[in-house]
Amino acid sequence: MTQWIANLSQWSEVLNHPGIRWPLTTLYVLVLLLIAFYGLHRYLLVLIYFRHRHKTPKTPALLPQTWPAVTVQLPMFNEGNVAARIIDAACHLQYPADQLQIQVVDDSTDTSSQIAQDRCAYWQNRGVNIQYLHRPHRTGFKAGALRDAMDSATGEIFAIFDADFVPPADFLTQTVPHFTDPTIGMVQARWGHLNRDDSMLTKAQAVFLDGHFLIEHAARSLSDRWMNFNGTAGLWRRQAIDDAGGWEDDTLTEDMDLSYRSQLAGWKFIFLPDVVCPAELPPEINAFKAQQHRWTKGGIQTGRKLLGRIFRSDNNWKIKSEAFFHLTGMGVYVYITLLALLFFPAFYVNMQPFESGTIPAMLWGLTLFALGTASAGTFYVASQQVQGRSVIKTFFQLPILMSLGIGIALNNARGVLEALLGQQSEFVRTPKYNTTDNTAKKPIACPSIKRWMSYLEIAMGCYCLACTIIALGQPRGMISVPFLLLFAAGYFTVGISSLRGQCRSQNQVEIKALPV
């Protein structure tokens, strides 16, 4: 082992060549500063939230004299496991029957279309105003389906639920009254988690989403910054959609795109943290990765499309700056990947702006740690604290959260680069499992996740593990060992779990293909 490390040290002469050292140093410092820059923004969101939390909106005491017409839209694509559940939940919503329309907007190409159609017929026979709309194509994907359904919609307000959500019966009576304010264009509820405690993966996802809703959304909404509709568990005023130009399908996050266009048109949005709509978290790593890739790529696509218009608008600096952080923040996954790739040369080149071991170098390192690493911990701990969950328990979960965030960095960095390069891809739905029903079929296949990505993640895990071994052989490298192990664990966990899921999926396909 000692000889192996000694042989590797021969790289020192090569890497310290001025033509290599200074570009590496410049890149390394830039990556660290960018990570710290976005980490500082996390601190700012936490500060904004606690400064404005007393403004949390409540349901207006004065209810509408005449309840507005509401159309509930349920977009679906091959949702056989959950189609009946969401249709039943929508039909149980409490609202004046003569003012409520339900649309099942179905692009399915498998037997789930029959399940949805049969369930709609069941409720139609019981007097519910429910409409089944089936398209024989997926033009525009979800955005196209919602756009086409508007032609036969009767509502002034649209409530949209993805198929894995289960809205509570009083959802509309808690949210619709906020539209008595004529300036409100969209109302977003908080996502709950039906299967939060099923596994470490679902527990981690729950904390990620809690941070997004309870800190990020709340901070933006309460401080009059712009926020976005999350594609589900929210309501739109028809006029706000029309004024924005309607649903468009040139990004993978049609919800974020419409949100910013609507706010550019002058409409206001509000977030209701006390109104919770439970949903299913992807219980399988490939489903989670597909979802994250779509959200990441779509966010960057929206930024490319709209940031110029936002900066040229007459809105104030806090709206513009927050929009910048929101629509470029996904780039952090690229910076994390670059940081990992720079671990090896960092052992042989002092890529810090200060001499190693000096007080300025220590202060530099502590500052970067506080901004780049501790900021994420503060953000997620705060999201659990505000809902009464154990801060101590969350603190001990942080290594798992950070490891998972690192593990999916390659997958999401691919999404960022595809968006920046203008590479288009189809809207890949997140598989729905219906984890609350033990009799439901549990799909594993997720065709958007390529096997080569799993191999690359495992290779990155091996690389980080090798860097850990090198660090153990260097006195000044010991301090980096915990971080290197965190990176290695993240890449190995995500890569190996993905590969196992893909192999299981392939075996299922092969078994089904066998002649009977």
> In angstroms, how far is CA 113 from the centroid of its own chain?
28
Question: End of a domain among 402, 425, 448?
Answer: 425
Whether 188 contacts 230, CB under 8 Å: yes
User: What does the DSSP assignment read for 117-137?
Assistant: HHHHHHHHTTT--EEEEE-SS
Question: End of a domain among 374, 395, 425?
Answer: 425
The answer on 346 and 264 residing in a single domain is: no
The answer on 226 and 89 residing in a single domain is: yes
User: How confident is the model over 227-250, as a mean pLDDT?
Assistant: 97
Cα–Cα distance measured from residue 340 to residue 461, given in angstroms and rounded to the nearest whole number: 10
The answer on 97 and 199 residing in a single domain is: yes
The answer on 218 and 262 residing in a single domain is: yes
For position 401, what pLDDT does the model report?
93
| CATH code for the domain in which residue 149 is found | 3.90.550.10
Q: Judge whether 185 lies within some domain.
A: yes
The answer on 41 and 153 residing in a single domain is: no
**313 contact partners, CB below 8 Å, separation of at least 6:** 264, 320
* Catalytic hit among 107, 162, 210, 257: 107
| Domain region containing 212 | 67-282
The answer on 42 and 100 residing in a single domain is: no
**372 contact partners, CB below 8 Å, separation of at least 6:** 32, 35, 36, 39
Q: Judge whether 210 lies within some domain.
A: yes
Q: Judge whether 321 lies within some domain.
A: no
Tokens 């977003």 sit on residue: 188
- For the chain, the C-alpha Rg in angstroms (whole number) is 25
Cα–Cα distance measured from residue 269 to residue 187, given in angstroms and rounded to the nearest whole number: 6
Cα–Cα distance measured from residue 140 to residue 393, given in angstroms and rounded to the nearest whole number: 43
The answer on 75 and 38 residing in a single domain is: no
The answer on 378 and 274 residing in a single domain is: no
* Catalytic hit among 106, 164, 210, 255: 255
User: Among the ranges 16-20, 359-363, 423-427, which has the highest mean pLDDT value?
Assistant: 423-427
Q: Judge whether 438 lies within some domain.
A: no
User: How confident is the model over 254-283, as a mean pLDDT?
Assistant: 97
Its pTM stands at: 0.91
Q: Judge whether 166 lies within some domain.
A: yes
Please state the three-class secondary structure of 388-454 as a single string: CCCHHHHHHHHHHHHHHHHHCHHHHHHHHHHHHCCCCCCCCCCCCCCCCCCCCCCCCCCCCCCHHHH
For position 371, what pLDDT does the model report?
74
For the chain, the average pLDDT equals 89
249 has catalytic annotation: no
Distance in Å from the first CA to the final CA of the chain: 55
107 has catalytic annotation: yes
What is the number of domains present in the chain?
2
Q: Judge whether 437 lies within some domain.
A: no
The answer on 358 and 241 residing in a single domain is: no
**Please, what is the angle between helix 18-52 and helix 359-369, to 10°?**
50
Question: End of a domain among 369, 400, 425?
Answer: 425
The answer on 145 and 272 residing in a single domain is: yes
For position 5, what pLDDT does the model report?
53
Dig out the tokens for 329 from the structure: 């923040």
What is the DSSP-derived secondary structure letter of residue 501? Answer: H
The answer on 342 and 398 residing in a single domain is: yes
Q: Judge whether 367 lies within some domain.
A: yes
For position 507, what pLDDT does the model report?
60
Q: How confident is the model at residue 427 (pLDDT cuts 50, 70, 90)?
A: confident
For residue 61, the number of C-alpha atoms closer than 13 Å in the C-beta half-sphere is 0
Which of 57-71, 96-110, 133-147 shows the lowest per-residue confidence on average (mean pLDDT)? 57-71
For residue range 94-111, list pLDDT tens digits in order.
Answer: 999 999 999 999 999 999
pLDDT tops 50 at residue 444 = no
Q: Judge whether 77 lies within some domain.
A: yes
The answer on 213 and 360 residing in a single domain is: no
For residue range 476-503, list pLDDT tens digits in order.
Answer: 767 788 889 999 999 999 999 999 988 8
Which of 18-22, 65-69, 135-139, 308-312 shows the lowest per-residue confidence on average (mean pLDDT)? 18-22
